[in-house]
Structure 1
Amino acid sequence: MELKPEQLVSQLRTGPLRPAYLIAGAEPLRVLEAADAVRAAARREGFTEREVFEAEGNQREPDWGAMSASFRAPSLFASRRLLELRLPSGKPGKEGAQVIVDFCESPPSDVTLLVTAGEWSRQHGGKWSEAIGRVGQIAVAWPVKPHELPGWIEQRLRMRGVKAEHAAVQCLADRVEGNLLAAAQEIDKLALLAEGEVLDVARMEELVADAARFDVFRVIDAAMNGQGAQVSRMLANLRAEGEAVPALLGMVVMELQRGATLARVQERGGNLAAEFKALRIWDTKQPMYKRALQRHGPARWDALVAEAGRVDRIAKGRPRIGQEPADAWVALERLLLALADTKAMRLIAG
């Protein structure tokens, strides 16, 4: 049976650990928290070893042979082991699927398999995921729909011991614009500031005032995730609130330069995981970058960085002759839309 990540987390608090888990979906926060719950349950049950398998260097897939051998190998310290398989694409391929099926047909008593995937749809599954479902659990983080967001927020508020009126919950949902990570951060803040009171709309607005400003980090996140409509909406709010383009541009350039660096590492078959660590990009942010890297190669990232320089010149009143638009906000919007969608690259061409 397919569970929601939150249902899996609840089960893991009381139930025994199963031989295999598949946690997938495009909501990084929900996938990460469910995977963390599996890891925590494994520690409680005496799992002292952990191995991670993922594609590295110029490999497109994990080392399936090494993974299969690890399933069969006895633990070095006679302890129980958690083996993690990370599949950003959600597709293990023919060889990987067979390795997973073989494991599930006769799972070792001292090993639990945790598979996480950053992308998922009904077409991603197959015999390998069905095999996991027979011996373990499958949890899918489907995107939270707008009408579901207040319920998700209310449940998380309860988990943090915060009480809020329905209108106040809706107020917070409107503020975060579907960004679950932003919602989680605001709820953690509310848990510290609410002091046991039942929050009404006025108090909620007071406590999350900063969240009303769709700050540049969220705009960049939306662009990296390919959410062009959200980019335009958030920029309109920032402009209405009196923000200045130069104040935002430094962070935009920083993220574009990070993307360009990662794209070059990926193109030459380097260790992307090590580069994420070197750039201090958190695990929760990495799926966002990986999606953007699928859209743009090094040349495009360099073009985006160059375009950011042009936006800066326009914002400071120094556009070059013949360059339009002269409105820095329009130029910034076109830049971020190009980051969100390859088709929009034509907006910054030339």
Structure 2
Amino acid sequence: MELKPDRLAAQLAAEPLRPAYLVAGAEPLLVLEAADAIRARAREAGFGEREVFDADGRDFDWNALDASFRAPSLFSAQRLLELRLPTGRPGKEGAEVVAGYCAQPPGDIVLLVTAGDWSRQHGGKWSEAIARIGHVVQAPQVRPHELEGWLESRLRQRGVRADRGAVQRLAERVQGNLLAAAQEVDKLALLADGDTVDAARMEALVADAARFDVFRLVDAALNGQPAQAARMLAGLRAEGEAVPALMGMVVMELNRVAALARVQARGGNLAAEFKAQRVWDSKQAVYRRALARHPAPRWERFAVLAGGVDRIAKGRPRLGEEPADAWLALERLLVAVAEPKAAALA
């Protein structure tokens, strides 16, 4: 059975735990909250043991997961087994293991599968098997035209009354950042005092989560949002930032993606490289989307170009590097990172 994230809590409260759940989608906050709700329900039901399997990379041992399905519990009569699929694709062997579990699920195990990316192409017999005995919760990215509705629903859930102008102002502030939006709504629940919040009060109560900063600038480029990256860069320039102050983060991130791309190109252990690069689980989907956009040699070129922009900004171009406008050079680089068709312009 398929569920939307906002229906999951009611479903969990209305029935015993199902043997399997799949929570997948491009919106990390919604995936995290849905998975947390299932974990909490499992704890309430007496599932005192939890095992986590990160199926990230070609060398994942599916036999270990299969054996765990059949193994007796060490500390608890009931276990929650979590399978993390960052790409949403278990492969042939993984699909067979999951489908085999669903065909004869043990009575003392609940399987929770989470995936960062999801579309119709990701599904298969394994996800259909989960849907037959459990629930599939899809958490798609909240589109710009859906954000105000999502905020209104979130505010109501937290007991906050806000008029249309206030909701619009909040949407402008958070700029699609659902994590920031959730934090602001939680804060409003504490500060609103039961009164209806209007636009002026919303302005006074919420922080400017849409402030242009270099972290979100790089994320926009890696996420494939060229217009957003260009707009953020213009905002940083208007705020009086200097290109050299931005380039440390830009150079570091592009070198990181280039390193990940080298490992992926040679068929290495990408999961191990994420750990070596200290990339958190919540951020890995961003890098995976970036890696799918360009081949490894192009990431190497982007890293070299970033070094060139840094030298131009500091007035120390190498022989052959024109002392061009550093802001324009950086914009071209970020747009090329975000949009493959623009890669030749960098």
Query: TM-score by structure 1 length?
Result: 0.86
Gaps of 5+ in 2: none
Q: 1:74 aligns with which of 60, 67, 72?
A: 72
Aligned to 2:335: 337
Conserved 8 A contact 1:54-1:61: no
Aligned to 2:243: 245
CA deviation after TM superposition for structure 1 residue 191, in Å? 4.2
175, 178, 183: which is aligned to 2:176?
178
Alpha-carbon distance between aligned partners in 1 of 2:42 and 2:285, rounded to the nearest angstrom: 24
**Is the CA contact (8 Å cut-off) linking 1:47 and 1:81 kept in structure 2?**
yes
Residues 266 and 134 from structure 1, CA distance in 2 versus in 1: closer, same or farther, beyond 3 angstroms?
Answer: same
**Paired AA for residue 155 in structure 1:** S
Could you tell me which amino acid in structure 1 is paired with residue 216 of structure 2?
R
Q: Matched residue of 2:209: which SS?
A: helix
Distance, in Å, in 1 between the alignment partners of 2:6 and 2:96 is 29
Q: Which amino acid aligns with 1:254?
A: M
Pairing partner for 2:201 from 176, 200, 203: 203
Residue 9 of structure 2 corresponds to 9
Which residue of structure 2 lines up, in the alignment, with residue 304 of structure 1? 302
The root-mean-square deviation of aligned C-alpha atoms, in Å, is 2.8
Equivalent of 1:291 in 274, 289, 295: 289
* Residues 101 and 131 in structure 1, CA contact (< 8 A), matched pair in contact too: yes
Measured in 2, the distance between the counterparts of 1:176 and 1:228 equals: 19
Partner of 2:49: 49
Runs of 4+ in structure 1 deviating by more than 6 angstroms, as ranges, are: none
Query: Which stretches in structure 1 are left out of the alignment for 5+ residues?
Result: none
Whole-angstrom distance in 2 between the partners of 1:116 and 1:302: 31
Q: Please give the per-residue CA displacement for 1:187-242, whole angstroms capped at 9, x wherever unaligned.
A: 34444554554332223233345324232222221212122222123223333343
Structure 1 segment 1-350 matched on structure 2, within 5 A: 1-13=1-13, 15-55=15-55, 59-60=57-58, 62-191=60-189, 193-264=191-262, 266=264, 272-273=270-271, 275-277=273-275, 279-296=277-294, 299-320=297-318, 323=321, 326-348=324-346
Answer with 21-30 or 178-187: which moved more. 178-187
Secondary structure of the residue aligned to 2:74 is coil
> 2:99, 2:244 → 1: CA distance?
54
Cα distance in 1 between the residues matched to 2:260 and 2:208:
31
Q: Which amino acid aligns with 2:54?
A: E
8 A Cα contact 2:102 2:133, kept in partner: yes
CA distance in 2, matches of 1:193, 1:145: 28
Mapped contact 1:53–1:63 kept (Cα < 8 A): no
Amino acid in structure 2 at the alignment position of 1:303: R
The amino acid across from 1:223 in the alignment is: A
Aligned mates of 1:342, 1:267 — CA distance in 2 = 18
Taking structure 1 as reference, are residues 247 and 165 closer, same or farther at Cα in structure 2, changes over 3 Å only? farther
TM-superposed CA distance for 1:62, in Å, is 3.4
User: In 2 relative to 1, CA 36–280 (structure 1 residues): closer, same or farther, beyond 3 Å?
Assistant: farther
* Bigger shift: residues 73-82 or 127-136: 73-82
Q: CA deviation at 1:133?
A: 1.0
Code of the residue aligned with 1:123 in structure 2: it is: Q
Q: Contact conserved, 2:175 with 2:209, CA < 8 A, in 1?
A: no
Deviation, structure 1 residue 49: 2.0
Task: Tell me how far 1:107 sits from its aligned partner.
Answer: 0.8
Over residues 47-79 of structure 1, what are the superposed CA-to-partner deviations in whole Å (9 max), with x where a residue is unaligned?
Answer: 1222223335xx426322222222122222352
| Residues 85 and 114, structure 1, Cα contact 8 Å, conserved in 2 | yes
Contact 1:168/1:201 (8 A) holds in 2: yes
In structure 2, do the counterparts of structure 1 residues 133 and 336 end up closer, same or farther at CA, with 3 Å as the change threshold? same
The answer to whether the 8 A contact 2:258-2:299 is kept is yes
Deviations along 1:275-304, whole A, 9 cap, x unmatched? 545655433222112222333565444433
How far 1:186 sits from its partner (Å)?
Answer: 3.3
Change (3 A) 1:164 1:280: farther
Structure 1 SS opposite 2:37: helix
Shift in CA distance, 202/251, structure 1 to aligned 2, threshold 3 Å: farther
Shift, 1:45, TM fit:
1.4
3-state SS in 2 of match to 1:112: strand
Give secondary structure in 1 for the equivalent of 2:123: coil
Cα distance, 1:28 vs structure 2: 1.6
Kept in 2, the 8 Å contact 1:20–1:112? The answer is: yes
Q: Which amino acid aligns with 2:124?
A: G
Amino acid at match of 1:55: A
